[in-house]
Structure 1
Amino acid sequence: MGYGLIAGNGQFPFLVIEGARRQGVELSVIAIKEETFPEIESVADKIKWVGIGQLGKMIEFFKREGVNRAIMAGQVKHIQIFSGSLPDARMLKMLWNLPKRNTDALIGGVAAELAREGIELIDSTYFIQDKLAPEGSITKRSPTKVEQENIEYGLNVASEIARLDLGQTIVVRAKACVAVEAMEGTDATIRRAGELANGKLTVVKVAKPDQDMRFDVPVVGVPTVETMIAAGATCLSVTAGKTLIFDRDEMIALADKNKIAIIGN
């Protein structure tokens, strides 16, 4: 069984490589020129750099390396798909046949192309199940009554925008929606909320109702808490069992120091 990794930006791909190595598995890594951190060169077993639209080259590399199971890990900003990057013939054909071009459709199209070549796209948390958020309070402080009311309101709204594939995060104050995530990502959404209504903010980040764990899995970490501190947010709710927590100990310590409540729902 040969395993491959399509690496986007951030820490996620590094954790997958580390988790696979702990299990004695070597990964053949596709690094995206526009997204992947260059440091991946120092940890990848085998690596191929490609442009975001070079689907044909991705498949050629995986087939040459004997890959029949692949993982997507790390963000590829939605906007990159519509940037100046020139897609190859295989990507153009895939895009042309898509009924729509939201996140699920785009990545689902790539998964279908991989499957045509005998490469199965598997759960992105396959090697790092231990990093999924547990249910209940994760920090020393639990949400207050006001924060819990914000969470309950926010879960309904966030689940709906996630269902529509618009984003996974909303920021709430006094049971009113301050900011909704679109293409900009979680941290940018929190920053925007802080500019609009600094202080007493609750951040609600959810998995989609039918979350496909192969891609676009919600992720939080130290940068999330740092952004919350700057924006005046006091509480974070994430979907238990479907949200990855990176640098868990450091994240929880920073949250506890700043009296921020984090809970898995």
Structure 2
Amino acid sequence: MAGGTSSAPPETSSGSPLGIVAGRGPIPLAVAEAAREEGRAVFIVGIPGETEKEIECFPHEWIKLGALGRTVRAFKSAGCEELVMIGPLTRPELSSLKLDWGGVKFLSRFVKLMRQGDDGLLRGFVDFFEKDHGFRVIPAEQVLKGLAAPPGCWTVKRPDEQAERDIVRGRDLLNTIGRFDMGQGTVICRGIVLAIEGPEGTDAMLTRVAGLPPSLRAAEGSRAGVLVKLPKPDQDRRVDLPTIGVTTVENAARSGLAGIAVETSGALVVELEKLIARANELGLFVVALEGGRHG
């Protein structure tokens, strides 16, 4: 998969080509499709072993994570001025990085950033592209309209009083631990914190919840508890917003939860209509809070 390169796209009437640093999952491809539908050229840098191989439908280059100099040259050669950084990446082991000269020059900063947690690391990469090399990093939802979570309750089912209390407790918890650069998700059931998202991600957290004793979760034949996913208080919202999709809904249902709460414009939603239809089918609510507040 590594090493494949296609020619850079021409500039269009919509402005310079959009550069995409593509992590895992379907959103990088969705952003590329949205840009192309608007008549804008796209150039994608994919990370071997992380990015979906379907990016090869677009002008692209496969570049290993530590090859920062090559990444910059690829975007410059393609004529990109704006970049979207989208899709999760596995936190790299320093010893496994294949650094080029650009990566070597960034190494001392990278080591310091690794000690600052995920937020610090992401801010460092944004600064690398913007301050060091003159790109503009823009949020994915600026390109893919409808990607940001809309306000209100999206589903037929709505949270009951207990779910409302669980949402408030989850919001308060995440706002507190987020200052320590901890996870963006938690599961609260009847006031009890069942799980806090770690580096393994939301789906793995929900799998843990599904394995808990039934006495801690919903009674058989009923649903209780809420998955709450919010951005960290001080994070750069152009990158690494919480993301939910149909799989999130299905895993929440498998864990016996009653619903999901996110923040309006503080989460990315993959295939909103399909997500709503699946949540209605499974009997879950999905609600977006205004500014992290509910009610």
If the length of structure 2 is used for normalisation, what is the TM-score? 0.84
Q: Who is 1:87 aligned against?
A: 99
Mapping of 1:206-245 within 5 angstroms?
A: 206-245=230-269
One-letter amino acid matched to 1:149: R
Structure (1 or 2) with the larger CA radius of gyration: 2
Structure 2: runs of 5+ lacking an equivalent? 1-15, 219-223, 290-295
Deviation at 1:158, TM superposition (A): 1.4
Mapping of 1:61-210 within 5 angstroms?
A: 61-78=74-91, 80-82=92-94, 84-98=96-110, 99-101=112-114, 102-115=117-130, 116-196=132-212, 197-199=216-218, 200-210=224-234
Report the secondary structure of 2:44's partner residue: strand
The answer as to 2:35 corresponding to 1:24 is no
| Percentage of matched positions with identical amino acids | 29
Change (3 A) 1:67 1:188: same
One-letter amino acid matched to 2:155: T
One-letter amino acid matched to 2:173: V
Report the secondary structure of 2:62's partner residue: strand
CA distance in 1: counterparts of 2:180 and 2:38, whole angstroms:
36
Which of residues 60, 64, 67 in structure 2 aligns to 1:47? 60
CA distance in 1: counterparts of 2:234 and 2:95, whole angstroms:
29
Q: Deviations over 1:141-199 (max 9, x none)?
A: 11011111100111000122233221100011111211111211111111112212443
- The answer on whether the counterparts of 2:70 and 2:102 sit within 8 Å (CA) in structure 1 is no
Q: Deviations over 1:89-143 (max 9, x none)?
A: 4334424225442212222222222121221212222212322111211111110
- The answer on whether the counterparts of 2:162 and 2:190 sit within 8 Å (CA) in structure 1 is yes
CA distance in 2: counterparts of 1:34 and 1:87, whole angstroms:
16
Report the secondary structure of 1:233's partner residue: coil
Report the secondary structure of 2:174's partner residue: helix
One-letter amino acid matched to 1:84: S
CA distance in 2: counterparts of 1:234 and 1:8, whole angstroms:
30
Change (3 A) 1:88 1:121: same
Q: Deviations over 1:17-58 (max 9, x none)?
A: 11111221111110010210112212x1x1000112221111
Deviation at 1:83, TM superposition (A): 7.0
- The answer on whether the counterparts of 1:31 and 1:47 sit within 8 Å (CA) in structure 2 is yes
Aligned length: 262
Q: Who is 1:260 aligned against?
A: 284
- The answer on whether the counterparts of 2:44 and 2:55 sit within 8 Å (CA) in structure 1 is no
Structure 1: runs of 5+ lacking an equivalent? none
Which of residues 65, 69, 72 in structure 2 aligns to 1:59? 72
